[in-house]
Amino acid sequence: MKKSILFLAVFALLVSFKDNERKLPSVDIKTLDGKNVNSSTFSNDGKPIIISFWATWCSPCKKELNAISDVYSEWQKETGVKLIAISIDDSKSSTNVAPYVNSKGWEYEEYLDLNSDFKRAMNVNMPPHTFILDGKGNIVWQHVGFKDGDEEQYIEVVRKIIKGEPIEH
Protein backbone atom coordinates (compact mmCIF):
# COMPACT_ATOMS: atom_id res chain seq x y z
CA MET A 1 0.00 0.00 0.00
CA LYS A 2 2.68 2.41 1.11
CA LYS A 3 4.88 1.51 -1.85
CA SER A 4 2.16 1.76 -4.46
CA ILE A 5 1.19 5.23 -3.27
CA LEU A 6 4.80 6.24 -3.31
CA PHE A 7 5.36 5.11 -6.87
CA LEU A 8 2.13 6.71 -7.99
CA ALA A 9 3.18 9.99 -6.43
CA VAL A 10 6.65 9.91 -7.95
CA PHE A 11 5.24 8.95 -11.32
CA ALA A 12 2.70 11.75 -11.16
CA LEU A 13 5.44 14.21 -10.37
CA LEU A 14 7.63 13.01 -13.22
CA VAL A 15 4.79 13.13 -15.73
CA SER A 16 3.59 16.55 -14.72
CA PHE A 17 7.01 18.19 -14.69
CA LYS A 18 8.96 16.51 -17.43
CA ASP A 19 9.24 19.55 -19.65
CA ASN A 20 10.30 21.96 -17.00
CA GLU A 21 13.35 24.07 -17.33
CA ARG A 22 15.60 24.11 -14.33
CA LYS A 23 16.08 27.30 -12.38
CA LEU A 24 18.35 28.01 -9.45
CA PRO A 25 17.04 26.99 -6.05
CA SER A 26 16.96 29.56 -3.28
CA VAL A 27 19.57 28.76 -0.62
CA ASP A 28 21.55 30.94 1.79
CA ILE A 29 25.32 30.96 1.28
CA LYS A 30 28.11 33.27 2.44
CA THR A 31 30.52 35.59 0.68
CA LEU A 32 34.21 35.17 1.53
CA ASP A 33 33.95 38.14 3.91
CA GLY A 34 31.01 36.65 5.79
CA LYS A 35 27.92 38.31 4.23
CA ASN A 36 24.78 36.19 3.85
CA VAL A 37 23.54 35.98 0.27
CA ASN A 38 20.70 34.02 -1.32
CA SER A 39 21.50 32.00 -4.44
CA SER A 40 18.29 33.17 -6.13
CA THR A 41 19.81 36.66 -6.42
CA PHE A 42 22.55 35.53 -8.85
CA SER A 43 22.40 37.61 -12.02
CA ASN A 44 24.50 38.80 -14.90
CA ASP A 45 22.38 41.41 -16.71
CA GLY A 46 20.79 38.89 -19.06
CA LYS A 47 24.07 37.23 -20.01
CA PRO A 48 25.07 33.61 -19.35
CA ILE A 49 26.45 32.44 -16.00
CA ILE A 50 28.75 29.52 -15.28
CA ILE A 51 28.40 28.04 -11.78
CA SER A 52 31.17 25.75 -10.63
CA PHE A 53 31.20 23.70 -7.42
CA TRP A 54 34.72 23.18 -6.09
CA ALA A 55 36.77 22.63 -2.91
CA THR A 56 40.34 23.36 -1.84
CA TRP A 57 40.86 19.59 -1.41
CA CYS A 58 39.67 18.73 -4.92
CA SER A 59 42.52 18.73 -7.46
CA PRO A 60 40.46 18.47 -10.67
CA CYS A 61 38.30 21.37 -9.39
CA LYS A 62 41.34 23.56 -8.89
CA LYS A 63 42.65 22.56 -12.32
CA GLU A 64 39.35 23.54 -13.88
CA LEU A 65 39.18 26.96 -12.24
CA ASN A 66 42.87 27.68 -12.81
CA ALA A 67 42.53 26.75 -16.48
CA ILE A 68 39.54 29.07 -16.88
CA SER A 69 41.30 31.81 -14.92
CA ASP A 70 43.97 31.96 -17.64
CA VAL A 71 41.36 32.78 -20.29
CA TYR A 72 38.62 34.35 -18.17
CA SER A 73 39.21 37.96 -19.19
CA GLU A 74 39.07 36.95 -22.88
CA TRP A 75 35.85 35.00 -22.27
CA GLN A 76 34.33 37.98 -20.51
CA LYS A 77 35.34 40.39 -23.25
CA GLU A 78 33.92 38.12 -25.94
CA THR A 79 30.68 36.93 -24.31
CA GLY A 80 30.09 38.84 -21.07
CA VAL A 81 29.88 35.51 -19.22
CA LYS A 82 30.25 35.50 -15.44
CA LEU A 83 31.66 32.62 -13.43
CA ILE A 84 30.39 31.96 -9.92
CA ALA A 85 32.59 29.61 -7.91
CA ILE A 86 30.92 27.83 -4.98
CA SER A 87 33.35 26.37 -2.48
CA ILE A 88 31.92 23.40 -0.57
CA ASP A 89 34.82 23.42 1.91
CA ASP A 90 33.52 22.90 5.44
CA SER A 91 34.99 24.51 8.56
CA LYS A 92 38.02 22.23 8.25
CA SER A 93 39.30 24.09 5.21
CA SER A 94 36.99 27.07 4.58
CA THR A 95 39.44 29.53 6.16
CA ASN A 96 41.83 28.59 3.38
CA VAL A 97 39.46 29.47 0.55
CA ALA A 98 40.14 33.25 0.44
CA PRO A 99 43.95 32.86 0.62
CA TYR A 100 43.84 30.25 -2.15
CA VAL A 101 41.50 32.21 -4.39
CA ASN A 102 43.48 35.44 -3.99
CA SER A 103 46.89 33.82 -4.36
CA LYS A 104 45.72 32.37 -7.68
CA GLY A 105 44.32 35.75 -8.71
CA TRP A 106 40.86 34.41 -9.58
CA GLU A 107 38.46 37.12 -10.68
CA TYR A 108 35.30 35.06 -10.12
CA GLU A 109 32.33 35.75 -7.90
CA GLU A 110 33.07 33.55 -4.88
CA TYR A 111 30.83 32.00 -2.23
CA LEU A 112 31.12 29.53 0.65
CA ASP A 113 28.58 26.73 0.99
CA LEU A 114 29.74 25.65 4.46
CA ASN A 115 27.35 22.78 5.10
CA SER A 116 26.69 21.86 1.44
CA ASP A 117 23.10 23.19 1.48
CA PHE A 118 23.41 24.69 -2.00
CA LYS A 119 25.27 21.62 -3.25
CA ARG A 120 22.39 19.46 -2.03
CA ALA A 121 19.77 21.74 -3.55
CA MET A 122 21.60 21.60 -6.91
CA ASN A 123 21.83 17.80 -6.68
CA VAL A 124 25.58 17.75 -6.98
CA ASN A 125 27.12 14.38 -6.14
CA MET A 126 30.81 15.24 -6.17
CA PRO A 127 32.79 18.28 -7.32
CA PRO A 128 33.79 19.45 -9.82
CA HIS A 129 30.27 19.92 -11.14
CA THR A 130 29.67 22.81 -13.49
CA PHE A 131 26.38 24.34 -14.63
CA ILE A 132 25.72 26.87 -17.36
CA LEU A 133 22.72 29.21 -17.15
CA ASP A 134 21.27 31.10 -20.06
CA GLY A 135 20.47 34.82 -19.85
CA LYS A 136 17.05 34.05 -18.31
CA GLY A 137 18.54 32.02 -15.49
CA ASN A 138 17.59 28.59 -16.86
CA ILE A 139 20.13 25.83 -16.27
CA VAL A 140 20.74 24.66 -19.82
CA TRP A 141 23.90 22.58 -19.53
CA GLN A 142 25.92 20.76 -16.91
CA HIS A 143 29.11 18.79 -16.67
CA VAL A 144 30.71 16.58 -14.03
CA GLY A 145 34.43 16.00 -13.57
CA PHE A 146 37.23 17.85 -15.30
CA LYS A 147 40.09 17.01 -17.60
CA ASP A 148 42.34 19.42 -19.47
CA GLY A 149 40.52 20.93 -22.40
CA ASP A 150 36.99 20.59 -20.98
CA GLU A 151 36.90 24.36 -20.46
CA GLU A 152 36.68 24.78 -24.23
CA GLN A 153 33.35 22.92 -24.18
CA TYR A 154 32.06 25.46 -21.65
CA ILE A 155 32.83 28.50 -23.77
CA GLU A 156 31.32 26.78 -26.84
CA VAL A 157 28.07 26.37 -24.91
CA VAL A 158 28.19 30.01 -23.82
CA ARG A 159 28.72 31.12 -27.44
CA LYS A 160 25.74 29.05 -28.56
CA ILE A 161 23.55 30.59 -25.87
CA ILE A 162 24.49 34.07 -27.06
CA LYS A 163 23.76 33.19 -30.69
CA GLY A 164 20.47 31.60 -29.63
CA GLU A 165 21.48 28.20 -30.99
CA PRO A 166 20.11 25.02 -29.41
CA ILE A 167 22.27 23.42 -26.72
CA GLU A 168 23.11 19.75 -27.02
CA HIS A 169 23.68 17.89 -23.83
Partner 1 sequence: MKRVILVAYFAVICIVSFSQENTPLANNQGILQGNMQMDAQYYNPDSTIGAAPVPEKMLMNGFMNINYTRGNFKAGIRYESYLNTIQGFNPKYKGNGIPYRFATYTADELEVTAGNFYEQFGSGLVLRTYEERGLGIDNVFDGIRLKYTIKGIYMKGLIGKQRSYFSQGPGITRAFDTEVQLNELIAKWSESSTRISIGGSFVSKYQDGDKVIYLTHTLNVPQNVGASAGRISINRKKNRLMAEYAYKINDPSAINKYIYRPGEAILLSYTYSTKGFGFSMSGKRIDNFSFKSDRNATGIDVDMNFLPALNRQHTYALMAFYPYATNPRGEISYLIDIQKKIKKGSKLGGKYGMDIAINYSGANGLDTTTTIPEYDSTRIGYTTNQFALGEVYYQDVNIELTKKLTPKLKIMLLYSNQVYNKNVIQGLAGYKVIYSNIAMTEISYKINSSNSVRMEMQHLATKQDQQSWAMGLIEFGAGEHWMISVQDMYNYANHKTKERFHYYNATVVYIKSGTRIALGYGRQRAGIFCVGGVCRFVPASNGLLLTVTSSF
- Contacts with partner 1 in 23-52 (CB under 8 A)? 23, 25-26, 33-36
Query: Per CB under 8 A, does 129 bind partner 1?
Result: yes
Query: Per CB under 8 A, does 123 bind partner 1?
Result: yes
- Contacts with partner 1 in 78-117 (CB under 8 A)? 90-93, 95-96, 98-105, 114-117
Angle at 161 between CA 46 and CA 124, to 5 degrees: 85
Closer to partner 1 by CB, 10 or 45: give it: 10
Residues binding partner 1 (CB under 8 A): 1-2, 5-6, 8-10, 12-14, 16-17, 20-23, 25-26, 33-36, 56-59, 63, 90-93, 95-96, 98-105, 114-117, 120-126, 129, 141-145, 147-150, 152-153, 169
